Amino acid sequence: MAPTEHAFNGYPPAASSPEELGAAPATDKIEEAWQRCRQLLLCLPPMQGSIKHERAWGIEESLEQFQCLMRQHELQTTLGQSHVAVKKLRGRFCRLHAEDVATAAKKAEPSTASESLLEVRQATQRLRLALKLQSITARHSEEKTQAMEEEIKKSNAEMISLREAIEDVINEGGPPLAGPYGTGRAEVGSNRKIFYCSDCRVGGHGQRFCRYLLKRPNWRIYPSEKWFEDRNGQVSHCPLGKKAVDFTDETYFSRIAMHIKGRIWLEDKRKLYEFVPDLMPYTFVIQNRQWVGEVPSTPPADAPPWPWFLKETDRNWGTSVVCCASAEECLQKAKDDATYVVQKHIPDPLLYYNGEKCHIKRPGICDAMLSWPTVQSAFGLHE
């Protein structure tokens, strides 16, 4: 049987003597066997799983991820066994070569004793190296297997948690679907110990808020599902079974609403410029990769370089800000079916003492009262 065939069954050759393998391998034969094993190892993929467990927000997503992790575990386990089998095969070749060299050295003439001793030392060193590499590969394969099993455990625990959440909410362990504040058995109080959130993929910061809430020990994920699809192919989601949860970005099913009436004047960058133009840099608009309204003028040839900022109008937290060298570059980097504001950097920015730029954020809060309370930020600014 050829050495390459043994790389995939996990077992070295059954032969245990030079007579069974043929002629005793010489130095050039062991070099050839070493290089063949090396080339075979280079043909094998690395023992590294590319799929890691990620938080799932729906039943189908969780099941699909579990299946992918199980399939990866199966493939990587077979691959690890192949790596170890090749290293074992190479170690067996080296052992047989060392035994043949030692036997030849015992029968060597006194005139060639020094050369025979050198060959024995080289064969011994090669054998030690092969055994060391075999041990390292076996340990590496075991560690990778354990790491993949941990990912599978996370996915399995997640599916159990989703099932428990469904059972609890179905048994009226969640909040009421609708009603004025303070009504319903499941409002916040001593009767509630576990709270649920769902990502209905409305966009914005819904999933971000869910991730923050899940840092609390008494919050759990409640899975979402497809709700309906409009004529344009836009899919809307809702909590599984159209149940209410404590927080979701689909306000109708959420006990806590994340959307405030009139919020567009603060979230949409175009509206913000219309609202307070005296506090904002002069703003241009790109929609569907076309200028809307006024077009930035072409700067003179001798004008110094100055940065421009390209921002999507409905994104926050700096997640879509792109710095460009010119207004033309902003237009080139804009995407189809998206709306942007384009602003040139102000000429005299507020800098820190070491020349670095900083941002000042103003937090605010709005509760159920009709008036705005006074809120003070860390910078001493008031609303």
Rounded to whole angstroms, how far apart are CA atoms 160 and 39? 45
Coil/strand/helix, residue 373: coil
* CA angle (78, 79, 82) in 5-degree steps: 90
Q: Is the dihedral of CA 124, 125, 129, 130 positive or negative?
A: negative
* CA angle (67, 70, 74) in 5-degree steps: 140
Strands 219-221, 195-198: pairing kind: parallel
Q: Is the dihedral of CA 164, 165, 166, 169 positive or negative?
A: positive
Q: Token pair of 121, please?
A: 């030392």
**Is 213:197 a contact under the CB 8 Å cutoff?**
yes
- pLDDT, tens digit (0-9, with 9 covering 90-100), for 168-209: 988 877 887 654 444 444 455 557 789 999 999 887 788 999
Nearest to 315 by CA among 347, 297, 341, 337: 341
Q: Which residues lie across from 101 on neighbouring strands?
A: none
**Is 50:75 a contact under the CB 8 Å cutoff?**
no
How far CA 245 is from CA of 92, 211, 235, 280, in Å, comes to 63, 15, 20, 39
Q: Residue 100: which region, alpha, beta or left (left: phi > 0; alpha: psi -120 to 50)?
A: alpha
Q: Token pair of 86, please?
A: 């090749």
Domain boundaries, the chain: 3-162, 195-256, 264-344
DSSP secondary structure string for all residues of 292-334: ESS-PPPPPTTPPP--EEEEETT--TTTT-EEESSHHHHHHHP
Q: Is the dihedral of CA 238, 241, 242, 248 positive or negative?
A: negative
Rg (CA), the chain: 34
Angle between helices 59-106 and 27-43 (to 10 degrees): 180
Q: Residue 168: which region, alpha, beta or left (left: phi > 0; alpha: psi -120 to 50)?
A: alpha
Q: What is the pLDDT of residue 313?
A: 85
- 115: amino acid identity, one letter: E
Q: What is the pLDDT of residue 250?
A: 86
**Is 331:289 a contact under the CB 8 Å cutoff?**
yes
Tell me the whole-structure pTM to 2 decimals. Answer: 0.58
Strands 245-248, 290-292: pairing kind: unpaired
- φ/ψ of 80, rounded to 5, equals -65, -40
Q: Token pair of 170, please?
A: 């179905």
Q: Token pair of 183, please?
A: 């009504």
Q: What is the pLDDT of residue 374?
A: 47
Q: Can you list the residues of the chain whose pLDDT is less than 70?
A: 1-27, 177-190, 259-260, 316-318, 361-383
Q: Token pair of 263, please?
A: 């919020």
Q: What is the pLDDT of residue 26?
A: 53
**Is 273:265 a contact under the CB 8 Å cutoff?**
no
Rounded to whole angstroms, how far apart are CA atoms 6 and 16? 15
- H/E stretch holding 258 reads none
Q: What is the pLDDT of residue 213?
A: 94
Nearest to 73 by CA among 61, 81, 83, 84: 81
| Pairs from 181-186 (Cβ < 8 Å, separation ≥ 24) | 181/368
